[in-house]
């Protein structure tokens, strides 16, 4: 029996790039970025539109404001659903490719040497637990990460738009202090 290769510490960038390649490569990254920009942009515009509506005292325009607000709300929801479904679908395709690659590697491994060195429990663990993470969790992590990055970028933009450019100094000071800790 050989000891299991285990690397401790941070995940190397090669692992991330392999996952991106399994998801479809650059088109996947492009889709995630564009869908996030559209989703966050429409959400920001929704907030700006609401501020226009609350500042206008002409009640005859309420129907127009409500129609645009409702349309934007539906658009934000649809974009979030589309993004989530597409990332989940890409994650499942990546898991299927990884599973197929693992099975092919197992089927064409030199039987005597491989199965004498590697315990069957380790093989089953790779084919079950690790692929479960790939199937169920990693897509959600990508989705959550992309949402968080867009929130970190988009919310200060909305704050600056709603107040003044001078607000940027406390925001940068806050990020600087957070990075110091």
Whichever domain contains 102, its CATH number is 1.20.1560.10
**Is 74 within a domain?**
yes
Tokens of 169: 């100094």
**Is 84 within a domain?**
yes
Query: Is 113 buried (19+), middle (13-18) or exposed (0-12) by CB count in 10 A?
Result: exposed
Tokens of 95: 């898991």
**Is 3 within a domain?**
no
Give the Cα separation of 23 and 28 in Å (integer): 6
**Is 1 within a domain?**
no
pLDDT in tens, the chain (181 residues): 556 566 677 777 787 788 888 888 888 889 888 988 888 888 888 888 888 888 888 888 889 999 999 999 999 899 889 988 888 888 888 888 888 888 888 778 777 677 677 777 777 777 777 777 777 777 788 888 888 888 888 888 888 887 877 877 887 888 888 888 7
**Is 7 within a domain?**
no
pLDDT of residue 3: 60
Report yes or no: 42 and 75 within 8 Å, Cβ to Cβ: yes
**Is 99 within a domain?**
yes
Q: How many residues does the chain have?
A: 181
Statement: the pTM of the whole predicted model exceeds 0.85: no
157: enclosing H helix or E strand: helix 138-162
For 57-137, where are the alpha helices, taking DSSP H only? 62-107, 111-117, 120-125, 131-132
For residue 122, how many other CB atoms are within 10 A of its CB?
A: 13
pLDDT of residue 7: 65
Give the Cα separation of 83 and 81 in Å (integer): 5
pLDDT of residue 71: 92
**Is 121 within a domain?**
yes
Total domains present in the chain: 1
Residue partners of 68: CB distance under 8 A and separation at least 6: 49
* Residue 114: domain span: 13-180
Q: What is the DSSP string of 7-21?
A: --SSPPHHHHHHHHH
**Is 130 within a domain?**
yes
């Amino acid at each position: 029996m050989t000891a299991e290769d285990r690397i401790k510490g941070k995940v190397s960038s090669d692992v991330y790039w392999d996952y991106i390649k399994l998801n479809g490569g650059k088109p996947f990254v492009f889709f995630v970025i564009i869908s996030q920009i559209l989703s966050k942009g429409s959400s920001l515009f929704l907030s700006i539109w609401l501020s226009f509506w609350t500042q206008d005292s002409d009640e005859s325009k309420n129907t127009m404001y409500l129609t645009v607000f409702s349309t934007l709300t539906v658009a934000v929801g649809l974009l979030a659903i589309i993004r989530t479904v597409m990332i989940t679908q890409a994650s499942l395709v990546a898991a299927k490719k990884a599973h197929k690659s693992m099975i092919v590697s197992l089927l064409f491994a030199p039987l005597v040497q491989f199965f004498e060195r590697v315990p069957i429990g380790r093989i089953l663990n790779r084919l079950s637990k690790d692929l479960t993470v790939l199937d169920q969790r990693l897509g959600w992590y990508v989705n959550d990460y992309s949402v968080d990055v867009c929130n970190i970028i988009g919310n200060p933009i909305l704050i600056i738009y709603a107040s003044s450019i001078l607000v940027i100094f406390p925001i940068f000071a806050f990020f600087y202090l957070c990075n110091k800790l």
